[in-house]
Each structure stands twice: as C-alpha cells, then as structure tokens.
Amino acid sequence: MASYLEQEIKYLKGVGPKRAELLARELGIFTFRDLLYHFPYKYIDRTKIYNIEEINTTQAYIQLKGHIVTFRTEGHPRKKRLIAVFTDGSKNINLVWFQAINWVLKSFQAEKEYIVFGKPAMFNGTLSIAHPEIEPAEKLNDELNPSFSPQYSTTEKLKNEYISSKTIQKLITTLLPVVYDKIDETLPDYLLAQQHLLPLKDALFNVHLPKNSAFLEKAIYRLKFEELFLIQMSILKQKFTRHQRFKGIMFSKVGDYLNNFYKLKLSFELTGAQKKVIKEIRRDMGSGKQMNRLLQGDVGSGKTLVALMAMLITLDNGYQACLMAPTEILANQHYQTLCRFLEGMDVKIGLLTGSTRKKERELLHGELRSGKLQILVGTHALLEETVEFASLGFVVIDEQHRFGVAQRARLWKKNETNLPHVLVMTATPIPRTLAMTLYGDLDVSVIDELPPGRKPIKTFHYFDSKRLPMFGFLRKQIEAGHQVYVVYPMIKESEKMDYKYLEDGYEAFARAFPPPEYVVTCVHGQMKNEEKDASMKLFAEGKSHILIATTVIEVGVDVPNANVMVIESAERFGLSQLHQLRGRVGRGAKQSYCLLMTSYKLSAEAKKRITTMVATNDGFEIAEADLKLRGPGDMEGTQQSGVPFDLKISNLARDGQLIQVARDLATEILSDDPELAEEKNFKLVALIGSMKKTTVDWSVIS
C-alpha cells in the first residue's frame, strides 16, 4: 500500500507535471495519498430533479433533466456569449456560457437528453443558469456519479488554470478504482467490529463518491473517528511513556513554610475550587511521578495563590521553585504579589528580567547556585545558560501559550538529575475539546469559582455615535474615585483598516478630560521601557485617571481601583482577547463595567462576538463560542504555539462527543496494554508510527 499510494501525483491520468506542480504548491497534494485525503468540504444533493416551472432565483443549486432546443450566440465579437434554450417539457430556461464556447458547441447536441446542474439567476430578464455542469442523462445511474455531489476546496490560481472543484472530483474519480484494492486497513479488526466502522477503503470511496446519505454518514464517521482516535492514542501513549521513563521528585513532606503561611499569613478563606486544585497538585507531587498539570482559571480566580502554595511545599522538601512569565510587566507583578503574600516570612525571592542590572544579576546567580535564593520569578531571562539552580524542584509557567515548546523544555531541564514538577497556567479558558487534544498529555485542573465578594462585570455595547454619553459616564466614575482603561487596536492610523487608533484617541480623551482636573496617560509597545513604566506607575498609584493603551495591558496589569474598561473598535478583537481585556477590571468588591465601542458596520461574526460578551462573563462559555466562530487554528495562542497535528476531516468545535469517545477508548486500550505489545494492537503501533513521521515528539514536555 505504502509504495503505491506514495506515487507522485503527476503519474495520475489527467494530471501531468504542470498540474502536479500547481496542486503541490496550492493544496499540498504531492502523492496519490494526498489526493485521496483531500476531502470535500461540503456536498450538494444531486438526488432531486426539479421541474423548470417550479424553480426561482432564491434556490442555491438545482438539477434539471431535459434537452437543448437551440443554440445561439449574442453580443460583440470580442465579448460573445453562447445561449442554449433548454426545456424539460414544462417550461424553458436559458443556459449561458461566456467562455469555452467552441468546446460547448462541439461537446453538446440539440435534442439529446442531458442532466443540467447549476445556480439559477435572472439574466437580461430571463431565468438562466450561467456555466452549468452538464452531462448525458444516462450517466445519472453511473456508479461513479454520486448522488451527493462533493465540493472541493481550490484556489484562485488553480481556477485560473482550469482546476476547479469539478476537476478535482474527476481526478479522484480516476484515482479511486485504481487504488481501491491497494488500500490496506489501518485499524484492528476488534475495533472495527466494536465501533461498527466501515473498512477504510469503503470509507474513502464513499466520502468522495457516496452511494447514498447513509453510506456518506458512515464514511465520514469512520474517517473522523480514526483521525481523532489516532491523536488521542498518540498523546496518551506519550503520557504513559513519560510516566514510565521519568521519575518525579517525591515531595512527601508538608512543613513549616506551608503551614505557617496558611495559619498566619492567609487572611481569607480559599475557594472550594482552589482547595480542590491544591489537593490535586499535592497528590501529584507525592506520587513519585513528574507532575505535568495545566491550571486553567479566569482572570482573578486565584491561580497565583495556588501556585505559591505549591512552591511552599517545594521549599518544605528542600528544593527551589521558579515562575516564568511572558512579559516584564507580568513578571514584576508576580514578584510583587509573592513578596506581599510572604512578607515577614523567611523566604528569599528574586526577580530576573531583561532589565536586571549586571551587578544584581551576578549576585542573584550566586545565590541561586548556592541554594540561598529559594524562589526565582522572571521572563525568558530564566532560560539563559548562566541561570543555574542548586536544586530546582518546581516550575510554574504563566500564560503558557506565549512560550514555544523548546523554551519550556529548556527551563525544566535546569535539573536533569531529578526532573522538576511542572505547572502551566493560563487565564485564557480552553474549551474542553481543545484541552483534550492540544493539552491531552497534561492533567487538567480548573478554578471555576471567583473569590467571594466579586461582582460580575456589567458589559454594554455602544456605537460610536454615543461617545458623548460615554464620556459623561466616565466622568461620574472618576468623580466617585475610580480609574478607567481605554484600549485601542492600533497605535497609528491605517490606510487599509477603518479602525480607531491610539494617537488620535489620546488627543480626543485629553480634550474631553483636560488638566489639571484630569490626568490622562498612555502606554503602548513602541514606547521605551522607562516611559511605559512611568505611565503604568502613575496609573497604579492612582495619580492618573485614564490610561490609554493598546493590548500591552491585556495580561498582567492589576489596578484594583480601575473599574471601567473601554474597548475602542471592539469589533477588531477576537472573543478571547475581549474577555482578557475585560478581566483587567472587576478586581475588587466594587461594581465594574466594560464598554464595547463599535462602528455601525459590523459583520455577522462581529455581532455574535459582541452579543456573547454582553450576555456572559463565563470564560469557558466564551471560549466555546470562540472555538465555534473561529475554529481551533485561530484560537488564542494555538496558532503561535503550533497545533501538533493536521486535521483533514474532523472539527474540534463540532466533534466534541467523538473526541471523548476516542479518548475513552484510547485510555482503555493503553490501560490494558501500555506498550501495545499484544498482537491485536500491532496495527495501532504502525498507525502511531506514521503520525510521528510528520509531528513533533511532545512526549517529554508539557
């Protein structure tokens, strides 16, 4: 099978070198196998034959059976069009061609019976179909002429070279009879029987040339199941392997550091969700296996406190801990938060960022190597080779999607003798289906409860015409002693995009809120660090009333007195980012607000995003909506970190139930046969092996 399906596509009849080059460049189709796995994105029902008298221009596609009465050409010699009058006995309709006129005249004859397929429209006041698909009526019962017409994705360049969806369908129709008997089964017989799955060759045949709707449904299910099951098997096999290959440090002791902090320093009750997560982390740390856990929780849910308590368990067992954040602002904030929590306790904490001066850095390196420095907070600077720990036992990575896989690996390899436990945290809620696939090799903890006393943020949508009432609302909030964030999508004006921008916005707010009564500051990515820090400091200390910013404040800015978030051109942002920005307010017990400002020109998708934001504060509900709107490839963070697999037919937004079935089955198989050493599972070993050729080995990192 392998050798035959790996033949270059140029050797398929109807392709040749030129088309092969185009298919490779535009669609990534290099071999017979690639073409076989280029699945239709939709199907059009070809089972119904319409009468011409019953059709109208509101119908998407129609199919007619009848004959051509006459041909005629019209128009200027250089812009000729061919019109064929077509009838089914009930009424006439015009078939119109603007190109390939000579070919049409040679290929089709009057009075012969044809099947015509296309989209009806009015042309010069007459019901017409432009450039219809047309073929002899006898082909209607042909086995290779499917009842459901598959539609294949193509590109403008391919269309310009006459490679349309129909062309791709013809190539696949040529390929299938040739390769059908050479397609070997990839799943074990017991799985096919247990899950009532079509054999692979029948599934591939019917996904392209379905006999009927029942076969099409079975074919799609089989192919989706295999794709998702393979991913889950691969991820879970790696997880099983990691548990066997890497022993974790046994943290069996809970001593003075944690107990004193809990009894003497913690001035409030932990939420039920925080207690549950700490219990899960303690169980992992004491298991003798390396912990790899993903901690999800909305902004302000108390993830940092949970991480700190896990660090104190690390200290109780004689090891060091570190926390890595993606930006200096966030690293500084974590450092200050930990210092505030641990004030008066005998715990040595350090901060290492790109701004740390040389003398401080040398001192810090020395204390880290000696073990005197117990907790180190920092940015990417923690990854430098000069950063050496005496005994690193616990690693916290915040906003993990901002870091590449290799970067995370370099951090936990700082202790190669005893691999440290790893906790990755995110305030971007990840939908369950995405977590099972992108982070399927990690154990997942969720803090789904906000600390008591927090009020839900009230979110309102205003069009730009309501700017003056919005200014009035902000003045009342400032008079009440509160502060305001205003976020813009861009710093400068763009010729291509009609969105509000920071430079103009800063001037507008400065005019509306003039000194000395008001202080308006701004912060954005093009400012020098010192200027950014000065602006942030003024706002944090309450000396600035309004902070005009770009999304640099999306993560890690914590000013409890700020209770209003204004997002300009909110239609420009994705749901996940809007939710992150909103999370900058609502940090205290007072009522907070988020105002979404937009133009009147809103796409259907933008309207859904805005409506969702106004309707709910639930991060997981928003994440699910975001996944459905944008798809997994565009979800916040996944594009940057790289999705480690290529989905050909399944959809993480729509196939959640099937993902769970695949995961449960994979777990069951690996629990019984962790090494897949039993003869009945040999095909699964080969299947996972084929996936490893095209993906990164994720088995040893989170």
pLDDT tens, residue by residue, 266-318: 888 888 999 999 999 999 998 888 888 888 887 778 889 999 999 999 999 99
Helix axes 604-615, 619-630, angle to 10 degrees: 170
Q: Are strands 443-447 and 458-463 parallel, antiparallel or unpaired?
A: unpaired
The Cα–Cα gap between 534 and 543 comes to 11
Give me the CATH code for the 458-616 domain, please. Answer: 3.40.50.300
- The Cα diameter of the chain in Å comes to 97
**Chain centroid offset of residue 501 CA:** 27
In the prediction, which pLDDT does 433 show? 60
pLDDT tens for each residue of 616-659: 887 777 777 777 776 554 433 333 233 445 678 877 767 778 88
Contact 318, 468 (CB under 8 A): no
- The domain segmentation of the chain, as residue ranges, is 1-46+147-180, 48-145, 256-285+302-426, 458-616
* Both tokens assigned to 516: 């000395």
* Both tokens assigned to 417: 């003798």
Does residue 444 surpass a pLDDT of 70? yes
Does residue 59 surpass a pLDDT of 60? yes
Record the pTM: 0.65
- Label residue 552 by pLDDT band (50, 70, 90): low
pLDDT tens for each residue of 129-163: 888 888 888 766 665 566 678 888 888 888 888 88
Please compute the mean of the pLDDT values over residues 694-700 and round it to a whole number: 42
Number of separate helices (H) and strands (E) present in the chain: 25, 22
* Both tokens assigned to 612: 């969702």
Does residue 372 surpass a pLDDT of 90? yes
The Cα–Cα gap between 632 and 545 comes to 39
Q: Which of 59-73, 463-477, 510-524, 621-635 has the lowest mean pLDDT?
A: 621-635
Q: What is the CATH architecture of 256-285+302-426?
A: 3-Layer(aba) Sandwich (3.40)
Please compute the mean of the pLDDT values over residues 22-26 and round it to a whole number: 91
Give me the CATH code for the 48-145 domain, please. Answer: 2.40.50.140
Pick the most confident of 111-120, 181-190, 438-447.
Answer: 181-190
48-145 and 256-285+302-426 in the same fold? no
Which residue spans within 379-515 are E strands per DSSP? 392-398, 421-426, 443-447, 458-463, 483-487
In the prediction, which pLDDT does 657 show? 80
pLDDT tens for each residue of 238-276: 777 777 667 778 898 888 999 999 888 888 888 899 999
What percent of the chain shows pLDDT beyond 70? Answer: 86
